[in-house]
Amino acid sequence: MIRFEGVVVRYPRASAPAVDGVSFEVPRATITAIAGPNGSGKSTLVRTLLGRVAMSAGTIYVDGDDAARLERRELARRVAIVSQREEPAFPVSVRDYIALGRHPHTTLWGGADPDGPEAVARAVNEAEVGAFVDRTTDELSGGEWQRVRIARALAQDARTLVLDEPTTYLDIAHEMAAFELLDALARAGRAILVVSHQLNLVARFAQQVVLLHRGRVAAAGTPGDVMRGDVLEQVYEWPLVVTRDPAVGAPALLPLRGGRKQ
Amino acid sequence: MTRPSSRATFWALLVAAVAVAALLGLAIGPVRLTPWEAWAALTGDGDITSVAIMRDIRAPRVALAALIGAALAMSGAALQGTMRNALAEPYLLGVSGGAAVGAVVALAMRAPYGLVPVGAFGGAVAAVILVLAIARAGGGRPDPRVLLMAGVVVGAFANAVIMIALASSPPDATRNALWWMMGSVAAATWAQVAWLAVYALLAGGALLVFAPEIDVLALGDEAAAGLGVTVERAGRRAYVLASLLAAATVAAAGLVGFVGLVVPHLVRARAGRQHRAVIAAAGLAGAALVIGADLVARTLRAPNELPLGAVTALGGVPFFLAQLRRFR
């Protein structure tokens, strides 16, 4: 479980803060989605959680504790993050790659991780990557790769899972499969935070959507609360309509042609 | 994935390669001995001349070549993972240039021999700091590509400093420094071997201990941070340890190129791709290859010697070209 409270991030030499007083909570057993235009502060929030970017104000709580005060390995045991473009410099076996998720549970001298093999086996099952664990990472397709990254994060055995744009470059089937996997993981009790541009998918899978605009929360709540034509039009600065998906009843976004000229 | 049995064969082959190279290195020379005679002389069982040749000339030379090969290859293997770059190696990152500056300055100032490694190490650390500073000035956190470019720049700068130091030294110091830079283990002594062994054991051993961290660093900064690694500290640690290894070799034998670049690629897949195994395998393969290269350097045009650095570079080019095919 993560709680962002009044988080402010200023990049040096930037005129406006990248994140400006963002507060929301990522509860257990749900999918929370962060959406918003490019540059609205989504990835900055993830980097802040990682401790890669310093906060000027605010606090991030992980399972009730201030994340900034947690030891890095302890934080990694509580929150697993699949960042954008995570890939080893040189191909490794998929099994070894997934086992890297055990790093926060090990000591440098090896040993001391009795749960390791079981956690890796569980992650392989949950992410359904058993068919290609014996390959190397350069032999995976885009969809397989994304499942393997998620398996790596699952092996970390953290109660919260954060994914930064997990379905970029995936086709419709793999995109759906990835979200179905996240849905199953949330049902199993994990807190899931997913940064995504795929508003229509988010509307169908997430229980909560946080819409960011210029570093602030423009709207937050259920997909139905957030996915309103007037709100989205203002945030994305593009004409659009929100209808109701005739098949499943979820809000569906349809951008219109003829928006502002660049 | 390689099967466990073929993995065991691979390690056995590596150890055998080092042993065979060492035996050949001991046996072949102006006074030719069978491996058996060489072994007998080494254990003190033989005529006085053979024992002297073996114990005072060939054995320290083979030992020094082995240590240099092992240290450079381990350094390269660690740097390639840490920097996420197949071209990363101590020589490209300015480490050797800095070490050479330190060593040449020490030689030009006629410092006692024991201080030359100190000079080389100081030069290497200065180069590392300079490379990091330049890369940082290039913007934000050090991007591996920027680091490589900074390394090339620092290398060029080091060359300039070396030329100035040489131009303003007495002729014999210049000549010594030039020979020294071409790389050679001809003047190997047990004292040198002991020095380098200490450096190599400490820094190489530490790299092996921290190797799992390099596996994580090889995923990229953000992924590594997400796995609980303090990226800057871990990266700096691997970089400093690898440069310590390279600096020690440059001090002991001058510039022996291409070993740090090529050897890790030769062993990576067969060693199983995890850095602890890759670094260890690179160490063994590097030891065998540099013993072999030194053998070529001293026998090809005997009684004249070729510079060791020239032999490893000439031998490294075809290896590297063969590897290039795999990068596509």
Q: CB–CB of A81 and B274 under 8 A?
A: no
pLDDT grade for A110, boundaries at 50, 70 and 90: low
User: Closest to B218 (Cβ–Cβ): which among A82, A88, A108?
Assistant: A88
User: Closest to B228 (Cβ–Cβ): which among A47, A76, A82?
Assistant: A76
Counted across chains A and B, CB pairs separated by less than 8 A come out at 92
**Which has more pLDDT, B112 or A199?**
A199
pLDDT grade for B69, boundaries at 50, 70 and 90: very high
> Stretch B137-164: mean pLDDT, rounded?
77
pLDDT tens digits, A18-60: 999 999 999 999 999 999 999 899 989 999 998 888 899 999 9
* B205 interfacial to chain A (CB closer than 8 Å): no
**Chain A partners within 8 Å of B228 (Cβ):** 72-77, 103-104
Mean pLDDT of chain B: 84
**For residue B225, what is the domain's CATH number?**
1.10.3470.10
Out of B66-70, B241-245, B313-317, the most confident range is: B66-70
Mark which residues 124-153 of A lie under 8 Å from B by CB. 134-136
For chain B, what is the domain count?
1
Mark which residues 46-75 of A lie under 8 Å from B by CB. 47, 50-52, 72-75
**Chain B partners within 8 Å of A83 (Cβ):** 220, 222-223, 226
> Stretch A91-105: mean pLDDT, rounded?
93
* B6 interfacial to chain A (CB closer than 8 Å): no
The residue range of the domain holding B193 is 4-327
**Chain A partners within 8 Å of B229 (Cβ):** 72, 103
Taking the CA of residue B152 and the nearest CA in chain A, the distance in Å comes to: 21
> Stretch B110-134: mean pLDDT, rounded?
78
Residue B143, pLDDT score:
63
**Chain B partners within 8 Å of A81 (Cβ):** 222-223, 226
Q: Which residue of A has its CA nearest to B328?
A: A138
Q: Which residue of A has its CA nearest to B79?
A: A89
Q: CB–CB of A96 and B273 under 8 A?
A: yes
Residue B184, pLDDT score:
81
Question: Is residue B55 predicted with pLDDT exceeding 60?
Answer: yes
In chain A, where the domains are located: 2-231
Between A58-72, A236-250, B61-75, the lowest mean confidence (pLDDT) is in A236-250
Taking the CA of residue A129 and the nearest CA in chain B, the distance in Å comes to: 16
* A3 interfacial to chain B (CB closer than 8 Å): no
> Stretch A59-64: mean pLDDT, rounded?
94
Residue B203's closest CA among B252, B240, B257? B240
Residue A111, pLDDT score:
61
- From the CA atom positions of chain A, what is the Rg in Å? 19
Give B56's contacts (C-beta < 8 A, 6+ positions apart). Answer: none
Q: Are A9 and A41 in contact (CB under 8 A)?
A: yes
**Chain B partners within 8 Å of A95 (Cβ):** 1
pLDDT grade for B283, boundaries at 50, 70 and 90: very high
Residue B289, pLDDT score:
95
Q: CB–CB of B228 and A73 under 8 A?
A: yes
ipTM of the modeled complex: 0.88
Q: Are B274 and B90 in contact (CB under 8 A)?
A: no
Residue-wise DSSP of A49-95: HHTSS--SEEEEEETTEEGGGS-HHHHHHHEEEE-TT---SS--BHH
User: Closest to A100 (Cβ–Cβ): which among B83, B219, B222?
Assistant: B219
Q: Which residue of B has its CA nearest to A109?
A: B209
* A28 interfacial to chain B (CB closer than 8 Å): no
Question: Is residue A65 predicted with pLDDT exceeding 60?
Answer: yes
At the second CATH level, the architecture of A2-231 is: 3-Layer(aba) Sandwich (3.40)
Q: CB–CB of A86 and B268 under 8 A?
A: no
Mean pLDDT of chain A: 90
Query: For the purposes of burial, counting CB atoms within 10 Å of the CB of B174, is it exposed (0-12), middle (13-18) or buried (19 or more)?
Result: middle
For strands A79-82 and A160-164, give the pairing: parallel
Local structure of residue B83 (DSSP, 8 states): T
Between B121-135, B219-233, B300-314, the lowest mean confidence (pLDDT) is in B121-135
Q: Which residue of A has its CA nearest to B80?
A: A89
What are the φ and ψ backbone dihedral angles of A90, each rounded to 5 degrees? -125, 140
Between B79-88, B175-184, B282-291, the lowest mean confidence (pLDDT) is in B175-184
Residue B1, pLDDT score:
45
**Chain A partners within 8 Å of B85 (Cβ):** 89
Q: CB–CB of A50 and B216 under 8 A?
A: no
Between A37-41, B289-293, B315-319, the lowest mean confidence (pLDDT) is in B315-319
Residue A10, pLDDT score:
92
Local structure of residue A100 (DSSP, 8 states): G
Cα dihedral: B262, B268, B270, B273 (round 10):
180
Q: Are B225 and B207 in contact (CB under 8 A)?
A: no
What are the φ and ψ backbone dihedral angles of B148, each rounded to 5 degrees? -65, -45
Q: Are B71 and B246 in contact (CB under 8 A)?
A: yes
pTM: 0.88
